[in-house]
Amino acid sequence: MLFGAPEPNPPNWPDSVLLFHPSDDPLFILSQIEKTQDPWDEVKQTFTCENHFSPKRHALLFAPGEYFLDRNFEIGYYVQLLGLGSRPTDVAFPQCGPFVPALNKHLHPPFGTSLDTFWRSAENFRTASLQWAVSQAAPLRRVHVDADLLLHDHAAYASGGHLANAYVGGSLRAGGQQQFLLRNVEMRGEVTGAWSLVYVGCSGRVPAPHPGSDTEPAITVVEQPKLRMEKPYITLTTAENGQEWFQLRVPLLLRGEKACGPSLDGADEQIRDFRSVRVISFEDPISRIQEALDEGKDVVLAPGIFHLTETLMIRKINQVILGLGLATLVAPEDGSPCIQVEPFVPGVRIAGLMLEASERSVSKLNNTESSLLEWGHADQKDPGEPGNFGGLFDIFCRVGGGRAGDRRETHVDFMVRLHSGCIIGDNLWLWRADHGALDEDEKANYPHISPVFWQTENNEFRVETGIEVAGDNIHIAGLAVEHANGHQVIWKGDHGVVYFYQCELPYCASHDFAKDEFRGYFVNHDVTDHTVYAPGIYSNFRNDPVVISTAIQHPIQSNIRIFNAFTVKLDNLGGIHSIVNHEGTQAAEKGRSVRLQRIGEGYFIKQI
């Protein structure tokens, strides 16, 4: 169905989109990709993190076919690799392909670090083997790996990540990964890891559940999730006359047996012609985004940074906003959200976006609470449609970090608020920056921690709450919330499910953080039905010896269940006194996980 004047198909891709074909010279392909990679230090033989807060964004699009390259290529900061087939096997790298190694091996000898290999992604391709040593905001989706998949780089520390809808023919090795979520992955070989591994809807050689220990990770297995919905993606077909046509594929909501195992055959999807999809570059007038949404078109945001002057309003059911190459929306300077989904607008998909707070120029009107994404209205009950869930996929919020300026004027009350019901989340990282770029001629405030970044203080880049969920029937696979000044999560809706939760409490917290009884995960007193699998809450209090009394708090109800919860004192001062509702021992020893396993109706069965 066409809405308004048809859009060009193929679209007019900007320079930030690199489109490759199997007929292209392999040396040309590699030379173009090399321009997007992280800087390589030839002397020290390492990729570096100089692009950590780079304004550049790129998408590497590969048309269907085989690509015989003579060396692997690194996926750098703010780069996304996208195969354009209807199946992952349609785009293949039989010899060499993408990889992500640890960075800064000269600063963290000998293996480097993967703790900040953020903001990059790859999806929809086949490769012989793959190294993907990443942390948060670096998803791997819809891939077919013939042999081994390495989620680490030797003993380099890592704190991610997200693998979804994939096939792995060999071993899957998580190495030093603190935690990892594997959703709808078929595994043929053995699996190894560190603190916590979560398997949701996986098939093949899924490990047996295990409570974890000092030397073994906790294994949390959810054999059949209640629901499953995959991220929208783009495909390319070529007619006999050589004409290329792009399509937007929108996977359907699946239940029952179809919610298990990978879905890689292109079935159970709605196919939309790109003539009803507007591709927008950051160089285009920003008004073209809202214009397309009002016409009922789907929107694809090309790689780049979009400085909004007004909130993007979604008022049409089943619309898609898809970002490529970590496309970034910077919120209006009055504190309005980047995106507002109106109530009673089901089936909306928002995917592949960074949402960034702006430095405020004026106060928000009427002193209303600010956020980066609002779904529904706080004063309007919208249960959603159980047969037409909305979806959030690879949504990465960032408050602070990228621009110095006045750090006290970059702030929001919430990063995300979900008031409406029936929404699926899949890989959300909501990050109040614990560090940021230095201004020109500015020196680091804690050079012993990092000589190249500013370490955030308590009154800088403030976020009062990471995410507030008021709607019922919200299902999130892969939620990470870090460093908010108050509660990291406030959950008010019923029948919510979270598969995998990762949280770091604010490094800069003062004693008031404990005095005010802020939590890593807070379930409101009137909630009667809620489930969380494998929540991990970490402390690293840099300034004061803060000790919070408990990491997770919820009302005592038979249908509130929390499985395989654990806490860790990463470093520095203070710690976490207990794990859930004042049960469990204190996380006081650096780097040692303290665990609390629960089954059935939330009863404790084992404390380690």
Residues 480-527: tens digit of each pLDDT:
999 999 999 999 999 999 999 999 999 999 999 999 999 999 999 999
17-222 against 281-504: fold identical: yes
pLDDT (tens digit per residue) in 314-341: 999 999 999 999 999 999 999 999 999 9
Distance CA 478, CA 221 (A): 14
Mean pLDDT, range 116-134, rounded to an integer: 97
- Region of 340 (left: φ > 0; alpha: ψ -120 to 50; beta: rest) is beta
The pLDDT value recorded for residue 600 is 42
Give Cβ neighbours of residue 288 (< 8 Å, ≥ 6 apart): 278, 280
pLDDT (tens digit per residue) in 524-583: 999 999 999 999 999 999 999 999 999 999 999 999 999 999 999 999 999 999 999 999
Pairing between strand 349-356 and 328-330?
A: parallel
Distance CA 160, CA 224 (A): 23
What are the angstrom distances between the C-alpha of 244 and each of 240, 267, 299?
10, 22, 19
E strand or H helix that includes residue 427: strand 423-432
Distance CA 172, CA 462 (A): 38
**C-beta separation of 262 from 186 below 8 A:** yes
Cis link prior to 10 (omega < 30° from 0)?
yes
pLDDT (tens digit per residue) in 63-100: 999 999 999 999 999 999 999 999 999 999 999 999 99
pLDDT (tens digit per residue) in 364-389: 555 678 999 999 999 999 999 999 99
With 90 as the cut, is the pLDDT of residue 603 above it?
Answer: no
* AA letter at 19: L
In 10 A of CB 106, how many CB atoms? 14
| Structural domain spans, the chain | 17-222, 281-504
- 220: confidence class by pLDDT, cuts 50, 70, 90: very high
What DSSP line would sit under 280-308, residue for residue? E-TTS-THHHHHHHHTT-EEEEPSSEEE-
Select from 99, 120, 114 the least CA-distant residue to 194: 114
**C-beta separation of 94 from 128 below 8 A:** yes
Name the percent of the chain lying above pLDDT 70.
96
What are the angstrom distances between the C-alpha of 124 and each of 60, 85, 86, 91, 151?
12, 7, 8, 7, 18
Select from 149, 208, 153 the least CA-distant residue to 175: 153
Q: What is the mean pLDDT of the chain?
A: 94
Both tokens assigned to 130: 């793959």
Both tokens assigned to 467: 């995410």
Distance CA 355, CA 357 (A): 7
CATH class of 17-222: mainly beta
107-116, 239-248, 271-280, 435-444, range with greatest mean pLDDT: 271-280
**C-beta separation of 160 from 134 below 8 A:** yes
What are the angstrom distances between the C-alpha of 161 and each of 43, 141, 152, 216, 241?
30, 11, 11, 18, 43
The pLDDT value recorded for residue 604 is 39
Select from 535, 453, 429 the least CA-distant residue to 120: 429
Backbone angles phi, psi at 276, to 5 degrees: -105, 15
What DSSP line would sit under 310-344, residue for residue? SPEEE-STT-EEEESSS-EEEPPTTS--SEEEPTT
The label of the residue with tokens 């029937």 reads: 473
CATH superfamily, region 281-504? Single-stranded right-handed beta-helix, Pectin lyase-like (2.160.20.10)
**C-beta separation of 194 from 218 below 8 A:** no
Cis link prior to 110 (omega < 30° from 0)?
yes
Name the percent of the chain lying above pLDDT 90.
87
With 60 as the cut, is the pLDDT of residue 605 above it?
Answer: no
Both tokens assigned to 411: 């702030």
- 599: confidence class by pLDDT, cuts 50, 70, 90: very low
Both tokens assigned to 138: 């670096």
74 beta partners: 99
pLDDT (tens digit per residue) in 396-427: 999 999 876 789 999 999 999 999 999 999 99
CA terminus-to-terminus distance, the chain: 57
